[in-house]
Amino acid sequence: MSRCTAHRQDGQPCQAYAIKGGTVCRVHGGAAPQVKRKAAERLKEARDLILEKFVEYTTAGIVDPKTALEACVKLTQLTEMLDGRVSDRTEVITPDAVEKEIARLEAQFAASE
């Protein structure tokens, strides 16, 4: 996790943790709607880039499909949280469901290329 880039009134760095996807803590503007929106955009971009890499690595046999899918779900949850939506998914992911989702994503990326 990154630290807040703002400074206190005495000129010292804040040292609090920045919000996820952001550069400042809640006290220094991280709670503002526009800051949350931009942080959510950054996390969506990161999620999409990671998803692309995971599809590549899963196809090459470098990454386990379940691990790739779990990481993408976690990034989606963080993004939804910053968007102001409640996201508490407790569903059980079966190996068959993982395989189907990976196949769907691979087909989607193949169609977009």
Break the chain down into helix, strand, coil percent, rounded to 5: 60, 5, 35
pTM of the model: 0.52
State the pLDDT confidence band at 68, using cuts at 50, 70 and 90. confident
Within this chain, do residues 14 and 48 fall inside the same structural domain, yes or no?
A: no
Mean pLDDT of 32-61: 82
Shared domain for 103 and 62, answered yes or no, is: yes
Task: Give me the pLDDT at residue 89, please.
Answer: 46
**What's the confidence (pLDDT) of residue 58?**
80
Q: Is the domain of 25 the same as that of 39? A: no
Q: Name the token pair of 6.
A: 């703002």
**What's the pLDDT at 113?**
62
pLDDT at 63 over 80: no
Provide the domain count of the chain: 2
Domain match, 60 and 89 both: yes
Residue closest to 24 by CA, chosen among 13, 70, 79: 13
